[in-house]
């Protein structure tokens, strides 16, 4: 029998709708039950494209005995982090404060009044990887609540107080001379970034490696103004190594979320809309600086992938594509050398040499396509004409892609998220301008029209929902949704010269200020002032996988203050 998740639209929640665990969605019913029955709440947070979420589901949440233990002793709530990033943000910070690390699946235990006291990420079915087993965790929490509930309540109060205080430890710069905005500081920022640069494989820091597109974008823009060659070289090295690596899908296009190794070889194969929008952004900047055809081709390839695999027939773009198919991570994307030989025949040897395909495999006895030498170097070594070799590769990739399309595909998370679509609109505007390619403007306009028609709560009220699926929009939009949509409208005006987008941005900014302002600091809360189902209102400051809503609002306010001669917004942006 299905549980309460069967009425949801989120693909992630629907994946768990037939678990024997009596899952509830986050909401009044579950929270009221916890209070009335004086039961601990287990909140398990993940997303549809999350590999380890699937693993824990198979190992624990589909197990009848484990489910009975959970159902008898806890109120079990499943949350899609992409639908409720506000809930995820609060409890992720709690787990990071408790354990020093975080990730998904995120499993957090709360008192009946929703205050956290214990949590972690993936728990195996039996003790392994220096991790306690899931059943041991459940038994320990059950025992502690029975014998030491007062201690747990005190612990949860302390942790909640810590979360509340950490939300307001933001120190504001008091000087009125805007001393942060100096040429010297721009160089200091670049130097600090470059200290963490991997000068061999690109990117920043050690594995696992995330694209860090904002960091790359900063280096590109810094070079534009300063002509700092080191900044440019590291930015281009990072882009090139990602485009050559296994994190990039050489056949179908698109970037995976991150690489588990420093060489960008092995990703967790999920593809997120926001990563690809942000990659288009930096490719447009890189192309404008260098005019390299490689970046132009990559932009077209990624946008084609998004239109082919992630675009809804009615408009708008889906959230993500899963990492797993047939219960195996990366099965859809990897190859045995013998497969390529069967498909490509006499062309296989040259193709495999270029894409690092071997008998023993380059990842778990399989092969992820990747490029180890620039195409010019490889072609010269093999005494090939570059144009002929590019045509050869294109024909081979087309054959392999045709064969791959016959495989069982990973699941697509087909909910449409406002913020991520807004990021793509901005990217499409930049790509159109950089390449002088008008169809991308048409696509950006159509996506904007889709958002403003399907996500709107009330016409002319500038109030939006966060997600859309099956002709149903839901959840009040968050700061990121508004900030990114204002930014998208600004870019649309620049690309089209239609001032209606500027006036939309102006009105939406006024609404955002009214609904999200933190009067104590001048920053913006993540949730609007009418949303009351979370234990605290957080102020998100840092860039995560997507830019900080506060950072984008600072840009929006500054830009619009110049356009509309609004001194108040100018001062607020600087503050």
CA distance 135 to 62: 13
Side-chain-side CA neighbours of 246 within 13 Å: the count stands at 25
DSSP readout, 294-351? HHHHHHHHHHHHHHHHSB-TTSSBEEEE-SEETTEETTTT-B-HHHHHHHHGGGHHHH
What distances in angstroms separate CA 432 from CA 282, 406, 443, one per listed residue? 13, 33, 10
Q: How confident is the model over 438-454, as pLDDT tens digits?
A: 999 999 999 999 999 99
Residues 472, 453 contacting (CB under 8 angstroms): no
What's the start-to-end Cα distance of the chain, in Å?
A: 55
CATH for 183-332+407-574 (2.40.50.140, 3.30.365.10, 3.40.50.10860, 1.50.10.10): 1.50.10.10
Q: How confident is the model over 62-109, as pLDDT tens digits?
A: 999 999 999 999 999 999 999 999 999 999 999 999 999 899 999 999
Dihedral sign, Cα of residue 538, residue 540, residue 546, residue 549 = positive
CA distance 467 to 37: 32
Q: Are strands 23-25 and 328-329 parallel, antiparallel or unpaired?
A: unpaired
Whole-number pLDDT of residue 175: 47
Whole-number pLDDT of residue 170: 55
Please list the residue range(s) of the chain that carry CATH number 1.50.10.10.
183-332+407-574
> Hey, what are 542's tokens?
């840092």
Whole-number pLDDT of residue 173: 47
Closest-CA residue to 83 (of 468, 470, 448): 468
Side-chain-side CA neighbours of 392 within 13 Å: the count stands at 17
Please list the residue range(s) of the chain that carry CATH number 3.40.30.10.
4-166
Over the chain (575 residues), what is each successive 10-residue block's mean pLDDT?
94 96 97 97 94 94 97 98 96 94 95 96 91 95 96 95 76 55 91 97 95 97 96 98 98 97 95 98 98 98 98 96 92 97 98 98 97 97 96 98 97 96 98 98 98 91 94 96 98 97 98 95 93 90 92 97 97 91
CA distance 538 to 534: 9
Side-chain-side CA neighbours of 477 within 13 Å: the count stands at 32
Residues 6+ apart with CB under 8 A from 234: 193, 194, 197, 199, 202, 219
Whole-number pLDDT of residue 169: 58
DSSP state of 209: B
Residues 6+ apart with CB under 8 A from 281: 213, 217, 426, 427, 430
What distances in angstroms separate CA 391 from CA 235, 305, 479, one per listed residue? 28, 20, 46
Give the CATH architecture of domain 4-166.
Answer: 3-Layer(aba) Sandwich (3.40)
Residues 411, 271 contacting (CB under 8 angstroms): no
Residues 6+ apart with CB under 8 A from 510: 462
Q: Which residue has the tokens 């092969």?
A: 367
CA distance 87 to 526: 11
> Burial level of 545, CB count in 10 A (0-12/13-18/19+)?
middle
Residues 369, 393 contacting (CB under 8 angstroms): no
What distances in angstroms separate CA 253 from CA 226, 305, 321, 330, 533, one per listed residue? 33, 5, 12, 15, 40
Whole-number pLDDT of residue 541: 86
Q: Are strands 23-25 and 74-80 parallel, antiparallel or unpaired?
A: parallel
């Amino acid at each position: 029998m299905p549980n309460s998740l069967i009425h949801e639209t989120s693909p992630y929640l629907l994946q768990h709708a037939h678990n024997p665990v009596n899952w509830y969605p986050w909401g009044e019913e579950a929270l009221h039950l916890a209070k009335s029955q004086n039961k601990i709440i287990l909140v398990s947070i993940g997303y549809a494209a999350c590999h380890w979420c699937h693993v824990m589901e198979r190992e624990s949440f589909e197990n009848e005995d484990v489910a009975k233990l959970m159902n008898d002793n806890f109120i079990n709530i499943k949350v899609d982090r992409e639908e409720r990033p506000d809930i995820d943000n609060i409890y992720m910070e709690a787990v990071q404060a408790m354990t020093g690390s975080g990730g998904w699946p995120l499993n957090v235990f709360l008192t009946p009044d929703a205050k956290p006291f214990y949590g972690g990420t993936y728990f195996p079915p039996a003790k392994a990887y220096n991790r306690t087993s899931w059943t041991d965790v459940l038994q320990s929490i059950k025992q502690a609540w029975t014998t030491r509930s007062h201690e747990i309540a005190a612990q949860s109060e302390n942790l909640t107080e810590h979360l509340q205080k950490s939300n307001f430890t933001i120190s504001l710069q008091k000087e009125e001379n805007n001393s942060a905005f100096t040429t010297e500081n721009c160089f200091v920022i670049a130097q600090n970034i470059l200290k963490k640069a991997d000068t061999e494989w690109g990117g920043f820091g050690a594995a696992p490696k995330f694209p860090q597109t904002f960091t790359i974008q900063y280096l590109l823009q810094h070079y534009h103004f300063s002509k700092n060659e080191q900044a440019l070289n590291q930015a281009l090295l990072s882009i090139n190594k990602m485009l050559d690596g296994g994190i990039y899908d050489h056949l179908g296009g698109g970037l995976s979320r991150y690489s588990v190794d420093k060489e960008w070889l092995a990703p967790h194969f999920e593809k997120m809309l926001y990563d690809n929008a942000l990659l288009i952004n930096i490719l447009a900047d890189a192309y404008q600086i260098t005019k390299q055809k490689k970046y132009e081709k990559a932009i077209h390839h990624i946008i084609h992938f998004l239109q082919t695999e992630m675009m809804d027939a009615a408009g708008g773009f889906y959230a993500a594509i899963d990492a797993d198919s047939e219960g195996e991570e990366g099965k859809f994307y990897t190859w045995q050398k013998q497969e390529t030989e069967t498909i490509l025949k006499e062309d296989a040897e040259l193709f495999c040499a270029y894409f690092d395909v071997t008998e023993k495999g380059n990842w778990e006895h399989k092969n992820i396509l990747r490029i180890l030498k620039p195409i010019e170097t490889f072609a010269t070594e093999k005494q090939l004409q570059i144009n002929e070799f590019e045509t050869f590769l294109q024909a081979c990739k087309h054959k392999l892609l045709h064969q791959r399309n016959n495989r069982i595909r990973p699941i697509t998370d087909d909910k449409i998220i406002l913020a991520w679509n807004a990021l793509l609109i901005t990217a499409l505007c930049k790509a159109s301008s950089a390449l002088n390619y008008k169809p991308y403007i048409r696509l950006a306009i159509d996506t904007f029209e889709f958002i403003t028609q399907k996500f709107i709560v009330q016409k002319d009220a500038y109030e939006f929902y966060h997600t859309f699926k099956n002709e149903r929009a839901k959840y009040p939009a968050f700061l990121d949704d508004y900030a990114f949509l204002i930014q998208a409208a600004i870019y649309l005006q620049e690309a089209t010269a239609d001032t209606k987008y500027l006036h939309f941005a102006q009105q939406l900014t006024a609404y955002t200020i009214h609904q999200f302002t933190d009067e104590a600091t001048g920053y913006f809360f993540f949730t609007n002032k009418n949303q009351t189902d979370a234990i605290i209102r957080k102020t998100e400051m840092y860039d995560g996988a997507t830019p900080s809503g506060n950072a984008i609002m600072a840009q929006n306010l500054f830009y619009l203050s110049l356009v509309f001669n609004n001194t108040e917004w100018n001062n607020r942006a600087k503050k």
